[in-house]
Amino acid sequence: MNKQRKNSIVARLWTDRWIYIFLLPTVALIGTFTVYPVVASVWYSLLDWNGFGDPGAFIGLDNYRDLWNDPLFWNSFKNTLVFLVFAVPLRVGLALVLAVILNGVFPFVRLFRTGIFLPVVTTAAIVGVVMRYILDPTGGPINFAILETGIVDQPVNFLGSASLALYSAVGIWVWKWLGITVIYWMAALQTIPRDVYEAAELDGANAVQKFFRVTLPILTPFTLIITLITVIEATNVFDLMLTLTGGGPFYSTEVIDIFVYRHAFTSNIPRLGYASAAAIFFAAAVTLVAAVQIFLVTRIRKWRKL
């Protein structure tokens, strides 16, 4: 009986051999360059290791305990959350508005799309350097403009003030990545069949009514997916934050990525184990959030099918 079942498993594996051959390249690549490093990081998180030489001493969960008691870790956790809470809705919402405007055929549309998309294709390091100049309190064009028009009478220190810097970073991040979300939304809009609108027009609906009664309900599942993608991207703002503020001033823009980086590389004596623990802890938290979101997506899909 048992043997028979075993045989049937082997037989099934054999029948499916092509499937496994097809999976092989992915398993090899992702296994080597994504899964293995994560497993290794879990191991590092249990070590007291400065990263200079061979892996250090095993110290169990001490790194996690230190993390729990580190106010700067919770500060970076909070910064990441604040970043998410402001940046994600802003990016998803603005992108939807722009997508609705950009959706269609009219003169220069390609040029406009490319224009909005331009920051997306720019290396984060370049964006960081350029934006530091654009936001400069004395020479920068933004301060020049708002001073000239009299909105403020003192230059605004967008990146240098502890209370403003994180929000400035949110603005720049939304600017940089809005284009790709616009594309996602445009793709979603194109899935809406023409005849639905025609039916609504026959019922005498105007443009606004069409948007709220037809477009939005159809877009609901896309909203969840696009939000999920955006949330994941918003937890990974390393390049931009590093060149823009480096986490300063006084940790006010230190998101988790920068916290990890600081402990792993930029300290005089790095703590690689500690940095790994922070990353693992945070990744677990994000996975949890993402799992909840995916759960909701599938629930809503099922509900819609009923």
Span 173-232, contacts to other proteins by CB under 8 A = 175, 183-184, 186-188, 190-191, 222, 225, 229, 232
Q: Does 123 bind other proteins (CB under 8 A)?
A: yes
Residue 263 beta carbon to other proteins: minimum distance, rounded to whole angstroms: 8
Q: Which residue has the tokens 């998180």?
A: 45
Q: How far is the CB of 94 from other proteins (least distance, A)?
A: 11
Q: Residue 36 interacts with other proteins (CB under 8 A)?
A: yes
Cis peptide before 249 (omega within 30 of 0): yes
Are the CB atoms for 92 and 174 separated by under 8 Å? no
Q: Contact at 8 Å (CB) between 258 and 247?
A: yes
Report the DSSP beta bridge partners of residue 48: 57
Distance between CA 84 and CA 122 in Å, rounded? 22
Strand ranges for the chain from DSSP E: 47-48, 57-58
Stretch that binds other proteins, among 197-205, 209-217, 280-288, 295-303 (CB under 8 A): 280-288
**Residue 255: closest CA among 1, 44, 75:** 75
CA distances (Å), origin 6, targets 2, 3, 15: 6, 5, 14
Selection from 304, 116, 114, 281 nearest residue 224 by Cα? 304
Q: Does 240 bind other proteins (CB under 8 A)?
A: no
Which one of residues 120, 205, 218, 297 is an interface residue with other proteins (CB under 8 A)? 120
Per CB under 8 A, which of residues 53..82 are in contact with other proteins? 53-54, 72
Going residue by residue from 134 to 173, which x/- string records binding to other proteins, judged by CB under 8 A?
xxxxxx-x--xx---------x-x-xxxxx-x--------
Residue 94 or 214 with smaller CB distance to other proteins: 94
Residue (120 or 214) nearer to other proteins, CB: 120
Contact 234/158 with Cβ under 8 angstroms?
Answer: no
User: Which SS3 state, helix, strand or coil, does residue 269 take?
Assistant: coil
Distance from C-alpha of 120 to C-alpha of 177, rounded to nearest angstrom: 5
- Binding test (CB under 8 A) with other proteins, winner from 33, 151, 194, 303: 33
84 binding other proteins? (CB under 8 A): no
Which of 81-89, 209-217, 253-261, 298-306 is the region at the interface with other proteins (rule: CB under 8 A)? 253-261
Among 2, 4, 14, 25, binds other proteins (CB under 8 A): 25
Stretch that binds other proteins, among 18-26, 196-204, 208-216, 297-305 (CB under 8 A): 18-26
Q: Is 270 in the site for other proteins (CB under 8 A)?
A: yes
